[in-house]
Structures are given as structure tokens and as C-alpha cells.
A and B are shown apart, each in its own frame.
Chain A
Amino acid sequence: MAEVLNNENKTSENILEVRNLRKCFPLKKTMTGKVTQELVAVDDVSFTLKAGETLGIVGESGCGKTTLGRTILKLHKSSGGKIIFDGVDITDLKPKQMREIRKQMQIIFQDPYSSLPPRSTVGGILSEPVAVHNIVPKSEVKDYVLDLMEKCGLRDYYYERYPHEFSGGQRQRICIARALSVKPKLVICDEPVSALDVSIQAQIINLLKQLQKDMNLTYVFISHDLSVVKFISDKIGVMYLGSMVEFGTKEDIFANPLHPYTQALFSAIPQPDPDLKMNRIILKGDIPSPANPPKGCRFHTRCPYATDKCKEEVPEYRDYGNGHFVACHLLQK
């Protein structure tokens, strides 16, 4: 491990640092395998995250938020940029070297119905990662798993049951227990509650928050639901068509959204109060195809304030004080 430790990056408090991360998927290849057209799913994304914090990533479908999460975990090979996890540059690590790091970073998937193996019991699902990564001695695995199940709100007799016997909320609890079984530092939650009902959603969100406090976890919480993200996050990143358009602390983003897309996104959420009349900003048109994104600022096709400059130049992603990053020409005057 020592040779991959880059001491320069060892800033103790930042658990995750992403610098200019890029991920492209090839769309067309020539016969020799040369890529002629590609889809830029994540484009030049940078942020840092301190231990124990939660980063919420919001954006509409197709904006690259899931790809970002998976690229951070190296489930996709990145096409450029750097991922520094806990002081170690993991961007170019070999699979063997990754093994040690994998147990420190885990993922919870969106759909609890398809992310559990149907043919193993809950006990099997939860013990396997513990055994593979040698978290506890073999003789203690079962006790460890039962203890974990209790923490996640699962009864002990579920140990011998199969995933199909559970409701969506219970399955998501199993997924959470599985992710936490290897004592990770970073957990990427990829829309963990969007497949669940409102009353079950609240249970799972409270559980995630409680576990974070108990185990000092760092979350990257990916969701399209802004109210959930606001509830759980310390920092928020707003994505649009592959790039981060705004990033900052929760207070800054919600009290003072600077990017026109963030403003429109916030005003589009229906609020459960019939008397509240909002000045809704309704965006025209649809999200452009990520395979053929517009030139200049990617948002200019739908932006109510777009100028000629926006159509030509890509805006710079700049800090506007207190770590509040925005990529918009309007603010650069």
C-alpha cells in the first residue's frame, strides 16, 4: 500500500476528493476500434468531501449523477481526472490493489427488488462480504451479522428467510446492512428511497441518519427528490447534462441559489401547502440529448436569461465565496 500513498494529498479531513473527473462512453467505433463519437456522461466534475459529511447530488434523469457515483467507486473506469479517497489516489489502481479499498467504500442501489440475490438467505447475503473481507474471525461472523441486523432494524429470525419474503422497505434495510457489513467509511446511496412509499421513506432516511451518527459514515446521496436531499445533506451538488452547475453547503444552496437551473429546479417542486402560491419558473422544452449536447453553456437552450455569450463559451466553474461554486456567465460580470 505504501507506494500508492501520495503524501501530498494526505489532508486528513478530506475523505474524498474528486478533481476534474470525466467519464465518456463510446457510441460509435470504427473497425479498428477507434472511438468516433462518444457520450460524455460526467464532464469535469470536482468537489471535496470531509469525513462524516453527506453530499447530496441532485439532477434530472440523464444528468450523470448515477454515473458519477459509480465512477467514484471505480465500477466504471474513469476517462480523465483524479479520485483521491482517504489520501490515496485510487484513479489508476490495479484491481488487486483496489480490493483493500473496496471494503471502505460501498454502495446502496436504488431498486431493492433487483439488487438482492434471490437464492440466498438474508444471513447468507450479509455474512458473505464479512467472510470475504475478514472483518471478524470466522467463529464470530454470525453474532456480528445478527448484531448488524438489529442495528438496521431487522429481527433476528429474518436470518434464514429469503429476499422475496420481504417488503420494499425491509429489503432496503437488508441492502443497507449489506453495505455496512464491511465497516465502510464512504457509502454511495444511489436513490435509496425513490422506490419506496412516503411513510417507509421516512423510516429509511431516519435509519441512514442514525447509522451515520453511530458509525461516522460519509454519504454521497444521489437523488432526484430535492426535499429528501435537503433533509439529509450537508453539502449539495446540482448536476445538469453531465456537469456540476452549482455546489455548496446546504444553507447556501437553499437560501441563495445562484444558477438559473437550480432556481428553476427548486421552484418546480410541488409543496404540500394549498395556500402557498409560488412564482414558478417553468422551463421550456426538454433536456437535450447527452449524446449531442449544445455548445457553450449546456443549459442555454432552456435558460430564461441566456445571452449570446452563453451560446459560445463554456462558463467557468468558480468559487463565489464560502465554497459556493457556480458555473454561469451571468455571475461573472
Chain B
Amino acid sequence: MSKIKNANRLTGKEVRAIAKQNKKIIRKLEAYKNRKAEETEYLGHMSKPENILEIDNLHTYFFTEQGVVKAVNGVSFDIPKNTTVGVVGESGCGKSVTSMSVMRLVQGPTGQIYSGSIRFNAKLDNGETKVYDIAKMPMDDIHKIRGNQIAMIFQEPMTSLNPVFTIGQQLDEVTFINHPEATKEDAKAKSLEMLDLVGIAMPERVYDAYPHELSGGMRQRVMISMALASDPRLIIADEPTTALDVTIQAQILDLLRDLKTRIDGSIMLITHDLGIIAEMADYVVVMYAGRVIEKGPVSEIFHNPLHPYTIGLQKSKPTLSSDSDTLFNIPGNVPNPVNMPNHCYFKERCGKCIGKCSGEYPRMIEVTPNHFVACHLYGKED
């Protein structure tokens, strides 16, 4: 038995050097975030007019004492109109940070959008559409989009409702913010309508209830109704059913599917459960260690997965229909987020490595129409 120096441990000197460096960058990024800017400064163009959201080479970093954690490291994908895009990956792969970046909710000053663009096709009240680049918007202007054009359903319905206000007060607030001229009666009528829409049996009673009086499934329904109250064009659902039981989860998924057809919007569904993805999504984005490694239509991802990680992920999940004796497992762990290697991040855990894998990080290749993969196995021979 030998004692091996722990490579993750930093000396005080190193920590201070990192802190000094971080301070410099954070100050610059914070100033950019809090600047005053004309609208023209952050207007952009969609590359495809049918898209509602385009994330283009997004980098969101966390400047920690251990070093820079590249939580989102060059993520690009599109969300077309009227589709559900599923983002799947294990914990720490950056799927939640991507959604937080879209909402500009990344916790500063440590967390910062470092570069890239998030173009959103916003529909204004007077009917005209404008393309905003969310990543470049100053924080003062973000209210144009956040909450009314893009709504979010959080994972933990227990903690995302305010315990000291009734459900009614919290729902009415949404209407008052979007329509300041609305009267109390209007707001209540709208709130009751929303509660009814999400399948709450006694909206009047829930309207006057406090969050602690409701069960987990009911609270999640309230959260969904709150997200819908502002008629959003895009709903981001960040693990909406993870905290719920299976029978309640089935109810909520059923509701979400039903709503998508009714509200005429798109859903970005973030989850770690491949079953939910298969059932809900039209298009799937698979993330690993802060990067998109594969994206494609749902039938392609499940019937013709290309990246070894996607294949492994699907094989390692026991299903009700399979009868094998041992589970396939991907060896090892996700690499340390501070010191990411220069080659493919999955190389150490991959069973299909070729010589090229030690080289630079693989580029995204379109293998079949609309099905992209970042893996050297599928590159052109050259």
C-alpha cells in the first residue's frame, strides 16, 4: 500500500492565484451584465425562421476557488416551434445550467455566461416578432422575456412556492405583472381558469390554500399553472417529475403532453430519465460533461444511437422488458470538471477508443439528416 499524492488538493498559494485571476474576469463580466444598453445592441437574427430558440456555442463557467468549472462548454442546439426537445444527461453534465443560462438565472458572481449566444424569437404584445440575444441582454431588460415569454417549471415544487402566501396570491401576481391594468377580479378569474386547465378538481379551494396544504403532485400542478398564466412561447421544465411518485408522475406527464397541444408553444424538457424522454420528446439532446455529444430525432436516438455514451446509457438502465442477468455498465466516473482533458471527455470510459481519440475534441458531424454526433468513430476517413 503506498500513499499517493492527491492531485485534487491545492496549496494555499495556488488557491490565492486562482482567486486573483477569477476576481478580474468576474468584475469584467458583472459590469457587462449590469450595463445599460439600447435594444438594438442585443437584437439578432434566427438562422432558421421556424426555430423559437437557438443556443449557439454557449459557454457558462463557474469561477470557483478550485479553478474554472466549465459547466456548459460549447453547447449548441435549436428548439423549433411546437416541439418538445428533451435534454438528457447525468448529474453534473450541465443540463440544468443550460436552462438557467436561458433564463439568465445562473448564480453570480461565481457563475457567468462567458461567451456564446442564445437567440430567442420573442412575440411582442403588438404582434410583431423580435429576435433577442438573451446572452447579451443586460439584466435590467431581461424582464421582457423572463417569466412571460419563457416560463420555467422547477424540479422541487416544495421549495419553489412561497410558503407565506396563498396559491391565489402567487398566481394573481403573474397576471398583475404581465397586465398591470388588470383588476383583482380579472386576475382571480384568470388564476381559477389556469388551475382548472391543469386539472385541479376544486380550484376555488386551492386558490385560498397555502402551499403546505397541498400534496407534491398538486404543488407541481400549481407550478405548471403559474408557468402557463403568462401564455409563454417556451416552457422550460427542469426535471418536473423527479420529486414525485410514479403514479403521480404519470399524471403530470399526461398533463404536460395535453398542454403542449393546447398552448401552441414549445417545451424544453430536462431529465435524467430516458423513459420520460422516449415518451415525451420529439428531439433529443444528450449531454456529457458540459458538452452535447449527440442530438437527433427521438426515434433515431433510441433505435440508432451512435455515441458510445448514449449506447451505454441505454444499456445500463434495467427495463421491465429485458431479461439479462448482469447489467451493462460504463466503467469509471465523470472526469473532474476543473481539469478537463483536451481529448474527448468520454475517452477514459469508452470501450471503442481508436487512436484518433487521444487527439483534439471531436467535432459535431451530421451522420443522417438532423442526427448529429461528436465522436471520432463516425468521422470521414482522411
Contact = CB atoms under 8 A, between A and B. Distances in A.
A272 interface: yes
Interface residues of A, number: 47
A231 B327 contact: yes
Contact of B3 (A157, A269, A286): A157
Interface string A221-245: 0001011101100000000000000
A198 B278 contact: no
Query: Counting chain A CB atoms within 10 Å of each CB, which of B90, B215, B247, B326 scores highest?
Result: B247
B314 A272 contact: yes
Interface stretch (A36-44, A105-113, A199-207): A199-207
B329 interface: yes
Interface string B236-271: 000000000111111101100000000000000000
Interface stretch (A1-9, A17-25, A73-81, A274-282): A274-282
Given A264-B247, A286-B217, A287-B245, A270 B302 contact: no
Given A198-B90, A271-B320, A272-B277, A286 B246 contact: no
A320 interface: no
A209 B326 contact: yes
A282 B245 CA distance: 13
B138 to A, nearest CB: 37
B1 A157 contact: yes
Contact of B1 (A146, A170, A273, A282): A146
B318 A282 contact: no
A206 B278 contact: no
B2 A157 contact: yes
A120 interface: no
A156 B1 contact: yes
A99 to B, nearest CB: 32
A271 B321 contact: yes
A203 B273 contact: no
A280 B253 CA distance: 12
Contacts of B329: 199, 202-203, 206
A282 B254 contact: yes
Interface in A251-294: 254, 264-276, 280, 282-283, 286-287
Nearest to A264: B247
Contacts of B3: 157, 160
Contact of B327 (A146, A205, A269): A205
A227 B90 contact: no
Contacts of A167: 333
A159 interface: yes
Contacts of A270: 249, 253, 273, 275-276, 278-279
Contacts of B246: 60, 224, 226, 265, 268-269
A198 B320 contact: no
A172 to B, nearest CB: 12
Given A156-B1, A205-B318, A274 B250 contact: no
A196 to B, nearest CB: 9
B67 interface: no
A115 interface: no
B189 interface: no
SS class, residues of chain A in contact with chain B? helix
B320 A230 contact: yes
Contacts of B1: 146, 156-157, 159
A200 B327 CA distance: 11
B312 interface: yes
Given A156-B1, A157-B4, A202-B316, A272 B302 contact: yes
Contacts of B347: none
B313 interface: yes
Nearest to A229: B318
Contact of B279 (A60, A169, A206, A271): A271
A231 to B, nearest CB: 4
A226 B272 contact: no
Contacts of B254: 280, 282
A201 B319 contact: no
B227 to A, nearest CB: 21
Contacts of A224: 245-246
A264 B1 CA distance: 53
B275 A269 contact: yes
Contacts of B276: 270
B156 to A, nearest CB: 14
A212 to B, nearest CB: 12
A197 B95 CA distance: 14
Interface in B205-258: 215, 217-218, 245-251, 253-254
Contacts of B245: 60-61, 224, 287
B278 A202 contact: no
Interface in B135-179: none
B299 interface: yes
B247 A60 contact: yes
A230 B320 CA distance: 7
A197 B272 contact: yes
B330 interface: yes
A214 interface: no
B247 A265 contact: yes
Nearest to A201: B316
B319 A271 contact: yes
Contacts of A308: none
Contacts of B36: none
A268 B247 contact: yes
17 contacts: A61-B245, A157-B3, A198-B317, A199-B90, A199-B329, A202-B316, A227-B318, A231-B318, A270-B249, A270-B253, A270-B279, A271-B275, A272-B277, A272-B314, A283-B247, A283-B251, A286-B217
Interface of B: 1-4, 6, 8, 90-91, 215, 217-218, 245-251, 253-254, 272-279, 298-299, 302, 312-314, 316-321, 326-331, 333
Given A198-B313, A268-B246, A274-B298, 11 more contacts: A60-B247, A157-B4, A197-B91, A202-B328, A202-B329, A264-B247, A272-B277, A272-B302, A282-B247, A282-B250, A287-B215
